[in-house]
């Protein structure tokens, strides 16, 4: 079963920052937080991942709370092409290596 909870949908104005929350209150010490997104009828695309420190790459920033029970994915300047379903996944880097997807957040960027 997925270990994450996300709001089912969000809207964001084009050019503004999109902040997508994820709750993972049962996360274990060896589990990473991964974010993927899926644009309609395509395979998911990797965005970013982290353990406990905040991470930033060319696509987004990941903010993980100090207790690691929640995180926020930030798209700094959302564009229409960022409209997608965003999935937050918690997984360990040992053991079965499974990536279990939850229900995700459907982000709609509005012009």
Partner 1 sequence: GAVVSQHPSWVICKSGTSVKIECRSLDFQATTMFWYRQFPKQSLMLMATSNEGSKATYEQGVEKDKFLINHASLTLSTLTVTSAHPEDSSFYICSARDFPRPSGDATNEKLFFGSGTQLSVL
Token pair 């995700």 in the structure block, residue: 104
- The answer to whether 57 contacts partner 1 (rule: CB under 8 A) is no
- CA 102, 104, 106 angle in degrees (round to 5)? 160
Q: Distance between CA 47 and CA 59 in Å, rounded?
A: 7
Q: Does 56 bind partner 1 (CB under 8 A)?
A: no
Please return the burial class of 84, using the count of CB atoms within 10 Å of its CB with bins 0-12, 13-18 and 19+.
buried
Among 32, 72, 74, 108, contact with partner 1 (rule: CB under 8 A): 32
Among 62, 87, 90, 105, binds partner 1 (CB under 8 A): 87
3 binds partner 1 (CB under 8 A): no
Length of the chain in residues, anyone? Answer: 111
Interface pick for partner 1 out of 29, 43, 58, 81 (rule CB under 8 A): 43
- Contacts with partner 1 by CB under 8 A lie at 2, 32, 34, 36, 38, 41-46, 49, 51, 87, 93-94, 96-104
């Amino acid at each position: 079963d997925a270990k994450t909870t996300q709001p089912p949908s969000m809207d964001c104005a084009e050019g503004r920052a999109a902040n997508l929350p994820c709750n993972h209150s049962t996360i274990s010490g060896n589990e990473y937080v991964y974010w993927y997104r899926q644009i309609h009828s395509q395979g998911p695309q990797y965005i970013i991942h982290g353990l406990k420190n905040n991470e930033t790459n060319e696509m987004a920033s990941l903010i993980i709370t100090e207790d690691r029970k929640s995180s926020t994915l930030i798209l700094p300047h959302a564009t229409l092409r960022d409209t997608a379903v965003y999935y937050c996944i918690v997984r360990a880097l040992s053991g079965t290596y499974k990536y279990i997807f939850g229900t995700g957040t459907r982000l709609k960027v509005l012009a």
